[in-house]
Structure 1
């Protein structure tokens, strides 16, 4: 199958721009910080072990919720207040639940910082440089409980200037595979979906989202969890690439 020459390139963040590696001790570190926050407010009924237990339970519930949302046609994003108030602190004393709910945005940001280490995927710099030379705008369209963590990483890595826009589900209140995640990016760049490539690393969120949005090409980039599917979906990508270096080869072929 020959692919269109795109007028814009939209990328997922985790698994495409970066490879993420979970830190084994993230729950211990965050539980200690939350415990200190509660104690500063005079709430001493929860210890670090209890907070850690409920953090891990909330994270597991969040993972299951995300899988379920991929079956909906237009899923909304979970808010930080819902994550902390309903998934983590649901059975905590009212004061403790109120504290973490009021600080939910900051706590989600901190969780994102502690939970994973991020490394640019192979060939990313060359891909972005080539797109810049071709005047091909590149945007990010990604699910995130705290998109600011991704923004911070890109700024720290000096890569944010290469992206025309960044769209994160927590900021627009919908999540992939809602087709308007891609639609917002296309409207922002002044292109129609059939003129763009969308690149993601998951079948149930990214490939399905690309198909629903009607993009010109849906590209699957393989990452650590790509084939650990929560369930099978009917949609298949137009092409499969190993990393940004492989994506660049595919782009150059489309421009010949």
Structure 2
């Protein structure tokens, strides 16, 4: 995301999970903030503008008039700010199409040749843009958590808002994590974005389980906790990240809060084998 990350909230007191927490048949995870930490990518607009214009010059007839890198980069940054404002104001429902996204990112002053080039190559350009406009690092402890799920016969899925599912799949591929997931639901492909519960229910349906047998883990209250509650997930878990906002007054609370994947792993082991001591960010039981 382009917005500046919010200060990390103070850790909540570490407690032991409630006894008798049933293990899930499906562990459904948000992508950004849970599987990967998303970080600002300084200079992304200029880098993408350079790639976009370079690709266009190779594809368009010689001498085609094109805008400058500086003009395209500035318009992209402004368009993304508008997109982020829309994301922050929406309460879920239909995801924007790629044509709607590019209508917001591009400007008529770019000229018809470049705009037509974008239309012809929109899917690939959107995937590249998704990979460029923020940096992602796999969170420590995720791989160990996924291995535990495989050993225990627990299905794992991804439920994520994004402008490009193919880009997120490539992130998982490069990290060597794809094989751990049974179901992948991305908002641009399903056409629904969180907190609308239908995105989570799509993963639950693909995995062949019920909402009550699902743990859903996300890193925001207003999108993820609300989504888990609306979908009827058996257990809704908040994992803190750089973008976790303060708890909303009067809003739904998660069943558990964990500081990182190690804390989630400890919660899962407690459900499978009995309580253990977390070596990571700890866990907090809120139900």
Does the pair score TM above 0.5?
Answer: yes
Please name the residue that 1:13 is paired with: 31
Structure 2 stretches lacking a partner, 5+ long: 1-17, 275-287
Partners in 2 of 1:228 and 1:39 — Cα distance? 46
Q: Give, in whole Å, the separation in 2 of the partners of 1:232 and 1:202.
A: 14
Contact 2:187 2:199 in 1 (8 A): yes
Residue 191 of structure 1 and its aligned partner are, at CA, apart by 1.0
Q: Which residue pairs with 2:54 in the alignment?
A: 36
Q: Which moved more, 1:100-109 or 1:122-131?
A: 100-109
Q: How far has the Cα of 1:227 moved from its partner?
A: 1.7
Cα deviations across residues 40-80 of structure 1 (Å, max 9, x unaligned)?
A: 425424111110011001111111111122x24xx111122
Q: For residues 59 and 233 of structure 1, what CA distance do their matches in structure 2 show?
A: 31
Structure 1 or 2, whichever has the larger Rg, is: 2
| Segment of structure 1 superposing worse, 47-56 or 151-160 | 151-160
Answering whether residue 155 of structure 2 is matched by residue 137 of structure 1, we say yes
Partner of 2:74: 53
Aligned to 1:246: 263
The TM-score with structure 1 as length reference comes to 0.91
Structure 1 105/147 Cα, relative in aligned 2: closer, same or farther at 3 Å? same
CA contact (8 A) 1:204 1:233 kept: no
Count of paired positions: 251
User: Which residue does 1:64 correspond to in 2?
Assistant: 85
1:149 corresponds to 2:134: no
Q: Which runs of 5+ in 1 are unaligned?
A: none
Q: Is the 8 A contact 1:38 1:44 kept in 2?
A: no
Whether contact under 8 Å (1:19, 1:120) holds in the other structure is yes
Query: SS at the partner of 2:86?
Result: helix
202, 208, 224: which one pairs with 2:220? 202
- Can you list the C-alpha shifts for 1:210-247, whole angstroms capped at 9, x where unaligned? 11111011100000010268x76712211110111100
Find the aligned partners of 2:250 and 2:53 in 1 and give their Cα distance: 41
Distance 2:249 2:79 in 1: 25
Q: Secondary structure at the match of 1:122?
A: coil
- Range moving further from structure 2, 86-95 or 122-131: 86-95
For 2:239, which of 210, 215, 221 is the aligned residue?
Answer: 221
**In structure 1, distance between residues paired with 2:50 and 2:36:** 28
Tell me by how many angstroms 1:147 deviates. 1.4
Structure 1 position 79 matched with structure 2 position 83: no
Aligned partners of 1:16 and 1:121 also within 8 Å: yes
Give the corresponding residue for 2:114. 96
C-alpha separation in 2, matches of 1:32 and 1:13 = 28
Deviates further, 205-214 or 233-242:
233-242
- The partner residue of 1:189 within 207, 223, 226 is 207
After superposition, give the CA deviation of every residue in 1:70-97 in whole Å (9 maximum; x if it has no partner): x24xx1111222111x211243333332
Corresponding residue for residue 212 of structure 1: 230
1:174 shift after superposition: 1.0
Aligned partners of 2:211 and 2:88: how far apart in 1?
25
CA–CA separation in structure 1 for the residues paired with 2:66 and 2:169: 36
